[in-house]
Structure 1
């Protein structure tokens, strides 16, 4: 079907999340196959070679586990058995991607609870950022062996959108056996037309994917649009493309898309900075010296321990806190990597001393520049 889709420019990106569905990895009635994964891995390898970062969200563990047991595999409706199959299939699924990857592969298992809990959210983000800094390919999947609700949903599309926001990705790419969003279900309506670009996910657009009980809607196009909506809210565009079409996958490596592009609601920086500026902050705050206040006002510096004069009130790791100058004037807001008591102990110290002072380290920045918004420019104008 992709032959009917016009080729368009892929949005510029340096970091992307690629989601691959189980329909592209599981052979008909059998185990995992590299039939379609080979081309997708080639795109990821080429992206790495070009200096780009990629996080892979991959389904297929349950199918792999079932294939290993063959005729002894339990019934699909048994939730506990499916959890066991997921545990059994994780190893071969990771092994498949490692066999195709030019870089080392790291397995990262997450649940939605990991991403709702602020401390675990920061830990997951630190891990993924660390892996990307090491030029490793993180392969993310839901921890189906313990995540009962998530396994019943079977929804790695929405997980991919959450991961895209987690790592501040520039782009979410969703590969499936459907090559685009259509005006109706193309499996039922021969008049269904592919849609090359969606400016906004309106109710009319969502209706094209069908209801939750439709063939396309259940774990299909409906969840992909839900994921695109989450990504758009974070300022991340989404592309939907057919992972079974080698020509389409090859074109991605040339920054060309034959599929559907779903625009972000805003640029990534605008959306994130807006949230940081307007979300409720913790009761406490961090006070900084004049040098740090000036650097933070420029909007491109991280807050390091050396520029901190102290901390007032109480806040926890991951809380949104205000950063104030010596006169108590707020100059920035950001997500703090350390609790208030830890910040007080680190005040005025060098980043290299963090582990010696605390006995552990969450990173050299107290507030990373990606998690910080300046409330004033260096010239004193509010932004």
Structure 2
């Protein structure tokens, strides 16, 4: 008996999305890669880019590609070293598969979870991905399996995709899989199973619908729901759909989803700002009146407005921004550590490279990484958290 179909629903509005493509959509029978399902997904990406949108692909398939390069390598599940070797062999093949569909350059970005946990490496990865998008390249992200210390697990790239979506401030996470979406039960075993078109919160009851991770017929649905829950916390909605169904993939380009939509818990910007408000602060930046006025207009904090630097913070740490009278103005992620901040304080952005020998950004804190604690016309908030006239 065929599983019940998913009716069409509107995709949330989006300008930047992360598309996760699983190995089951790319692996060829007997090893290697197949363009069979990748072609339709690539056409969706191309149409989206031509419409002025941005897409980052998180692609599995390196181990399967390595199997095609070296079919006599033995069982890839036998040892960690075997998996890593096949991943190393297959990375080039995986990027070549995606490049064949696009005239624009495809850029390979290999990440580990440590890159996303360490704030400095997090900012470096973020800056690289955003610059690739600005240049018009198509980033294809994969976990750096060759140096990963944990065993490769089915669905691990689902969680990587959620992390990348947060990393690049995506509006939407798209997870292409080999089944149509989430059902209330196993669609081939439970006659009462029905499509679940929308999930407002990933609860234990929802996870129970997915069964165990990697169970027959689920396509690793549990890990996809766990990834969607992480994206929702960051204010990003997730769409689960079948990448094997050409009509479903084509409908995405028309703004229609035949699958399961997991709603965001709150707006993306609100989620990011809330995190910045409550994260531990590692230092203080004192700014002049000109910088204070610029911040309240929504500008980035440039080094020319810095008067003093307190604390021993590193690049990527959260720091407080205060006026000369101690008024708390904002909080944000420092693009430069404390020692470098002292050296560039009061100087023009164009002098940064000459002073430091490098330049991460023209701003000390970019406006996308900054939350205001005082809005124009509001009472100020002093360092004790009390309102002042």
Q: Normalising TM by the smaller chain, what interval? A: over 0.9
- Whole-Å separation in 1 of the counterparts to 2:310 and 2:184: 55
The answer to whether the 8 A contact 1:16-1:54 is kept is yes
User: Counterpart of 1:240?
Assistant: 240
| Alignment correspondent of 1:289 | 288
Contact residue 3 and residue 188 of structure 2 kept, 8 A? no
Q: Deviations over 1:18-60 (max 9, x none)?
A: 0000000012223211100001001111111111111100000
* Structure-2 separation of matches of 1:313 and 1:75: 49
Q: 1:187 to 1:220 in 2, by over 3 A?
A: farther
Q: Which residue of 2 aligns with 1:380?
A: 378
- Over 3 Å counting, the alpha-carbon distance change for 1:2 and 1:139 in structure 2 is farther
Name the structure 1 match of 2:301. 303
Contact 2:213 2:220 in 1 (8 A): no
For the residue of structure 2 that corresponds to 1:182, the secondary structure is coil
More moved, 332-341 vs 344-353: 344-353
Distance in 2 (CA, whole Å) between partners of 1:174 and 1:228 is 9
Aligned length: 380
Runs of 4+ in 1 over 4 A off after TM superposition: none
Residue in structure 1 matched with residue 222 of structure 2 by the alignment: 222
Note the C-alpha offset of 1:152: 4.1
Aligned to 2:387: none
* Distance in 2, Cα, partners of 1:145 & 1:85: 9
Alpha-carbon distance, 1:378 to partner = 1.5
1:176-191 matched pairs, under 5 angstroms: 176-191=177-192
For the aligned residues, what is the CA RMSD?
1.7
Q: What SS does structure 1 have at the residue aligned with 2:13?
A: coil
Output one character per residue of 1:197-249: Cα deviation in whole Å (capped at 9) or x when no partner: 111111111110113473356x6000000000110010000000000111111
**2:265 aligned partner:** 265
Contact 1:216–1:222 (Cα < 8 Å) also in 2: no
For residues 108-128 of structure 1, the C-alpha deviation after alignment (integer angstroms, 9 at most, x for no partner) is 011111111111111111111
Q: Does 1:168 align with 2:169?
A: yes
Secondary structure at the counterpart of residue 144 of structure 1: coil
Asked if the contact 1:66–1:85 (Cα under 8 Å) also holds between the matched residues in 2, the reply is: yes
In 2, distance between residues paired with 1:248 and 1:305? 49
Superposition map of 1:187-202 within 5 A = 187-202=188-203
Does the 8 Å CA contact 1:334/1:367 hold for their aligned counterparts?
yes
User: Residues 59-138 of structure 1 correspond to what in structure 2 (within 5 A)?
Assistant: 59-138=60-139
Q: Retained in 2: the 8 A contact 1:338–1:366?
A: yes
Counterpart contact for 2:32–2:68, Cα < 8 Å: yes
Change (3 A) 1:330 1:18: same
Residue 320 of structure 2: aligned partner: 322
Deviation at 1:102? 3.2
The farther-off stretch of 17-26 and 219-228 is 219-228
Unaligned stretches of 5+ residues in structure 1: none
Q: Taking structure 2 as the reference length, what is the TM-score of the superposition? A: 0.94
- SS for the counterpart of 1:100 is coil
The 1-side partners of 2:101 and 2:10 are apart by 27
| Counterpart-to-counterpart distance in 2, 1:116 and 1:214 | 29
Gaps in structure 2 of 5+ consecutive residues:
382-389
Contact 1:285/1:311, CA 8 A, preserved across alignment: yes
Secondary structure of the residue that 1:120 maps to in structure 2? helix
